[in-house]
Amino acid sequence: MDFDLTDEQRQILDYGNAVAQKFDRRYWMDCADKRVFPDALYQQIAADGFVGTMVPEEYGGAGLGMVEMHLFLEGLSNNGIPLLNLVVGATMSLGFIAKYGSEQQKHRYLPDACSGKTRFCFAITEPDAGTNTIRTATIAKKRGNRFALSGQKTFITDADGSDYALVVTRTTPHTDVARKTDGFTLFLVDLKAKGVAKQYIPVSIPAPETQWQIFFDEVDLGPEDVIGEVDKGFGILFKSLNPERILVGSICCGLGRYALNRAVEYANERKVFNNVPIGSYQGLQHPLASARTDVEMASLMTLKAAWVFDQGREAGEFSNMAKLAAADAGTKAVDTALQCFGGNGFTKEYGIFDIYPMVRLLKTAPLNREMLLNYIGERVMGLPRSY
């Protein structure tokens, strides 16, 4: 097995180093503190062709795969720049439309989105359903050959800055279907349409992409807004969730590396006893080395999950393992770095604690580690269903 990256893939991974010369962690944190989307950075990324990484060239994209998207996001996160919109927008939405949308939809939506003129979000979570998507209550009722969409979504990343949402709905209630996975339909919804309202959700995590509730009240939709087939969206829906888990893994590995690299720089300079760097003490070296090992193992699993996805094979096993391993490794890495910095780690000047809320969030969202373990136990190992 060849673990070497191609020259193009290496350039994609290194892109984060290049763009961070202009838009660094301080820029990202300034946007996060102000709750302002980093539009200048986003436009630069779009101009450089990375928003459309997984979109075919004929629709304005780069025509690359999940491996390249993973390397791109990991490279950004290696520099402390975790852009969540690139998961929910550039990958889950644009990649999804590129794969399952009609030719009309691809030509209508993808070129503008790849160029940065428009943004997308992905709306699946509901207040009462939570992780149990089967209980989705948002429904698009059929009215002739059109639909009236009503319901509510919550924790929708970047909804306020997005022009469109890919919305997971039911067109048949779960109480009226033969199989619980029947009756799902995915719609492209203009967030400026009549009947759409949004409400801000204050969260304690520094991030430029804000969280929102979206309310739909009899929003008029037509067959041209349907992705795939009416009532048969469940199969393609869950294929869209593997990329999310892979790329959350990419972000966690990158942030873990960023924190550890900062800790190594500090440990090589900081002197407290005997006029030697604190990095020479095994009490610091060993935890840092252990954390780095965990990050690199998680990164390999994430790369494997991305590769399996690109081969068109079932990627659920590796995607769930990658997200589980990377979130744990990233959290451990940031916590270890924080311990290395001591009291300085909690200051705004050093900015180490500011990394922690994001990696800790990604241990819970978009799917908590307990459900990941359930999937691995049941689907991979053959254990009885536990819930």
Q: pLDDT tens across 244-284, in order? A: 999 999 999 999 999 999 999 999 999 998 899 999 999 99
Look at residue 386 in the predicted model and tell me its pLDDT: 87
Look at residue 326 in the predicted model and tell me its pLDDT: 98
Report which of 90, 76, 78, 61 is spatially closest to residue 240, judged by C-alpha positions.
90
CATH of domain 121-231: 2.40.110.10
Mean pLDDT calculated for residue range 179-188: 94
All structural domains of the chain with their residue ranges = 7-118, 121-231, 235-380
Check whether 34 has a pLDDT greater than 80: yes
What span, in angstroms and rounded, lies between the C-alpha atoms of 270 and 278? 6
Q: Report the Cα–Cα distance between both ends of the chain, in Å, rounded.
A: 38
Percent of the chain with pLDDT over 70: 100
Q: pLDDT tens across 317-326, in order? A: 999 999 999 9
The two structure tokens encoding residue 4: 């070497």
Look at residue 1 in the predicted model and tell me its pLDDT: 65
Look at residue 379 in the predicted model and tell me its pLDDT: 95
What does pLDDT average to over the chain?
95
Q: pLDDT tens across 94-138, in order? A: 999 999 999 999 999 999 999 999 999 999 999 988 778 888 999
Question: 7-118, which class in CATH?
Answer: mainly alpha
Q: pLDDT tens across 138-153, in order? A: 999 999 999 999 999 9
The β-bridge partners of 148 are 141, 220
Cα separations in angstroms, 169 against 121, 155, 162, 172 = 15, 16, 19, 9
Look at residue 387 in the predicted model and tell me its pLDDT: 83
Q: pLDDT tens across 288-302, in order? A: 999 999 999 999 999
What span, in angstroms and rounded, lies between the C-alpha atoms of 329 and 302? 12
CATH of domain 235-380: 1.20.140.10
365 DSSP 8-state letter: S
